[in-house]
Amino acid sequence: MPSDAQISRLKPGRRTDIRRENERAILEAAEKVFAEAGFGGATMQLIADMAGLPKANLHYYFATKEDLYRRVVQQIFEIWLDAASSFDDAPGPIEGIGAYIDAKMDISRTHPHGSKVWASEVMHGAPVIQDYLETTLRDWTNGRIAVIQRWIDEGKMKPINPRHLLYLLWATTQHYADFGHQIQTLNGGKALSDRQWAEAKASVKDMVLRGIGAIS
């Protein structure tokens, strides 16, 4: 059940700002509601309440529930793609994969809702972002596999399967967002502290980098 904390929403006078500000508030509320209730369980009324707008006003900015949902999914996808820059200009796996883990873990902490919406979307067969998987994500994946393979050829890491390394990285980093509730419960009901997050990041980096033979 989504908490009923309302998303802050300013009321600027200028026309362009009104549109930008309302769309931002709606998207922020929608991300949270879709994450906590799923697409089918989410209601436009609840999103409207959390954004501090009447429901009819939502449909003025986003024609349908699907439109709104699609925007939320695209948002987290773009954030993840940006985080991939850490990968490119790195001299080796310690820097590249280490920075990628840092970036993905940071996103799991700052954007847990978006991560859950993405997970839910994929679990349901990616009905709205299938084309992204087949184009952008596939290209991105093949590019990183090539980079990892180069590091292997250069003897900077063991000859592991680059594809399954990527899956392990995605799975582990996103787990801290998608299964955050389970982790919190196993942490005595308390959210991970700054120190515990740092410990998590260090642990993941340590195990992964040793697992691929980049460190001993």
Q: Which residues contribute to the site for its own copies (CB under 8 A)?
A: 1, 35-42, 116, 119-120, 122-127, 130, 133-134, 137-138, 141, 158, 160-161, 163-165, 167-168, 170-172, 174-176, 178-179, 181-183, 185-186, 199-200, 203-204, 206-213
Cβ neighbour number for residue 27 with a 10 Å cutoff: 19
For DNA, what does the binding mask look like between residues 42 and 61, x meaning CB under 7 A?
A: xxxx-------xxxxx-xx-
Query: CA dihedral defined by 184, 188, 190, 192, rounded to 10 degrees?
Result: -60
Q: Tokens 């120190």 — which residue? A: 195
CB count in 10 Å sphere of residue 118: 25
Q: Which does 15 bind (CB under 5 to 8 A by kind): DNA, its own copies, none?
A: DNA
Tally of residues, the chain: 216
Q: Which two tokens stand for residue 126?
A: 């990616």
CA dihedral 108, 85, 129, 136 (to 10 degrees): -160
> Does residue 73 touch DNA according to CB under 7 A?
no
| Closest approach of its own copies to the CB of residue 17, in Å | 34
Q: Residue 5: which of DNA, its own copies, none does it interact with, CB under 5 to 8 A by kind?
A: none
How far is C-alpha 117 from the chain's CA centre?
8
Residues found near DNA in the complex (CB under 7 A): 13-15, 18-19, 22, 42-45, 53-57, 59-60, 63-66
